[in-house]
Amino acid sequence: MNGSLKRAMDVVLALLGLIVSAPLMLLVALLIRLDSPGKVIFSQPRLGLNGRLFLMHKFRKFPDNWGTKGAAVTVASDARMTRLGRVLERTKLDELPQLWNILIGEMSFVGPRPETERFKDLFTGEFARVHDYLPGIFGPNQVAFRNESHLYPPDQDPEVFYREQLFPQKARNDLDYFSRATVLSDAHWIVRGLWCSIVGAIDWNKLGRRAGKAFVADLVILELAWLGANILRFDGLPTRHLWDVYVMGIWLIPLVVLPVLILGGNYRGMVRHFAATDAIRLAVSVFVGWTIAYLLVLVGGERNASIGVGMIAVMLTLMQMGAARVFYRERFRRANNLKREAEARRAHGGDPRSVVALYGAGHRGLAVASLLNHGFPDARVAGFLDDNDRDLVGRHIAGYPILGSERDLDTVHAVHRIDQLWTTFEPNRFKYERLRDWCRQNEVRLVVLPVTEPFLSLNMTGDGDSSFAADREAAAYRQRPPERLQPATSPQRG
């Protein structure tokens, strides 16, 4: 390759890149300072041409005081990264300061990625020739390993995996390409690298697996809502000039509303766990998306178009999207419950599961019910008991009925034949004695969760023990392990 021509291309493109990206770099720098304290630019010694060290510059992705703790490679969803750092890692915007390294001749646009001193020992034998080439931002490896952070196995040391698997592949790719590189082939890799950096910012395969069905369903719902709103408003499809507005909305509204739903985080969670917070997020995103979309319709189509159509469309969209998500969630829950019941019957015959009543319908109770329902096929939650029965009795929480309060234990037991009574709170001495005596009389296992391990160690008071430590029988109870519930043979995916 003509070295002078390659250097001239680097200088021209680096100057142009610094000028064009200057506003974006200023914005990123400001966001970094707002996101976490410390320096904006992270500079680190890297191995350059002929193995000489130089300072490579990046926008900071980790906390400024992190130091060198942890692996020398970055894995997907690395816990060390800041909130903005995750965005920079996905978009590769953290690499922009390296334009300065290119301008001053320490790097090139196309070249092997410079490694840290920690991996200096890997450049031996045939791999030592990698240092014959000026390191760069783009190249075959930068495209092939665009999402390198997702390649590390969850059960293996990432640094060991990089040394044994990834580095040899990357070194061989570099030696194969740069031994025959030309200025035209470098230009090809620059264009291809820019394209991969932009398109690869979104993991399309992962997005399709996690939200593909929901995304397509929302697209259909938007079209149905737009059609239904026009039919309801005009007693049929619009005519004359309003027909043009309807046609514009067919393609414009999805192009606006769906990206707003994505940015609003409506596809990050799993539909099978759709909850109140997800419903609120969905409502806000739908309202914002439709407002922007309809304003564009009014500006680009007909300023006198009916506002009522937009209001009806918002309501139809919310009702359909919410109903679809709730339907899918309940269908998944029913299918999951039937599967677990079938597994229990096949394993033991009949329905040998322990029937558990949970005393306390607060957040702890909901969490425990979810734990038993997802992972313990030998348990069946009958429902909740709660002292606030006046407001709660007859109602359901997360699909479980409120059965009554302490006074209803006899009737609850007669109906459900409970095997275990779990209290999600620590009762006072007198309540504990009443519950203990009732459980003994009815051969029901009493489990006071806050005073059983491992919850006891998380529920200590200042004197190092629980609030009714003076009760000898309660203290003895703490040392008595609860009846064992068998966990699921295969982990449930959530």
DSSP per-residue string spanning 389-454? HHHHTT-EETTEEEEE-GGGHHHHHHHH--SEEEESS---HHHHHHHHHHHHHHT-EEEEGGGSTT
Q: How far apart are CA 307 and CA 363, in angstroms?
A: 42
The pLDDT, as a whole number, for residue 346 is 58
Rounded average pLDDT over 354-364: 91
Looking at the 3D structure of the chain, how many domains does it have?
3
Rounded average pLDDT over 486-492: 43
Position 57 pLDDT exceeds 80: yes
User: Which range of residues forms the domain containing residue 362?
Assistant: 353-478
Sign for the CA dihedral angle at 31, 35, 39, 42 comes to negative
Q: Which tens digit of pLDDT belongs to each residue from 161-202?
A: 999 999 999 999 999 999 999 999 999 999 999 998 888 777
- The one-letter code for the residue type at 56 is M
Same-domain status, 270 and 137 = no
| pLDDT-derived band at 484, boundaries 50, 70, 90 | very low
Q: How far apart are CA 224 and CA 418, in angstroms?
A: 48
On whether residue 334 sits in a domain, the answer given is: no
Position 41 pLDDT exceeds 70: yes
Same-domain status, 193 and 211 = no
Q: How far apart are CA 423 and CA 466, in angstroms?
A: 15
Query: Of 293, 314, 329, which residue is a domain's last?
Result: 329
On whether residue 20 sits in a domain, the answer given is: yes
Position 20 pLDDT exceeds 50: yes
Same-domain status, 275 and 380 = no
Give the pair of three-digit tokens for residue 351.
Answer: 């329905």
The top-scoring range by mean pLDDT among 45-49, 64-68, 69-73 is 45-49
Same-domain status, 139 and 38 = yes
Same-domain status, 289 and 208 = yes
Rounded average pLDDT over 364-386: 86
Same-domain status, 214 and 171 = no
On whether residue 187 sits in a domain, the answer given is: yes
Rounded average pLDDT over 225-254: 88
On whether residue 342 sits in a domain, the answer given is: no
- The one-letter code for the residue type at 68 is T
DSSP letter (8 states) at residue 457? G
On whether residue 335 sits in a domain, the answer given is: no
On whether residue 431 sits in a domain, the answer given is: yes
On whether residue 486 sits in a domain, the answer given is: no
Rounded average pLDDT over 433-447: 94
CATH code, domain carrying 379: 3.40.50.20
Q: How far apart are CA 461 and CA 164, in angstroms?
A: 50
Same-domain status, 15 and 140 = yes
Same-domain status, 192 and 213 = no
Same-domain status, 184 and 218 = no
The pLDDT, as a whole number, for residue 490 is 39
| pLDDT-derived band at 453, boundaries 50, 70, 90 | confident
pTM: 0.62
Torsion of CA 238, 287, 91, 32, to 10 degrees: 150
On whether residue 494 sits in a domain, the answer given is: no
Same-domain status, 313 and 403 = no
Same-domain status, 294 and 279 = yes
Same-domain status, 291 and 437 = no
Rounded average pLDDT over 410-434: 92
Exposed/middle/buried for residue 351 (C-beta within 10 Å: 0-12, 13-18, 19+):
exposed
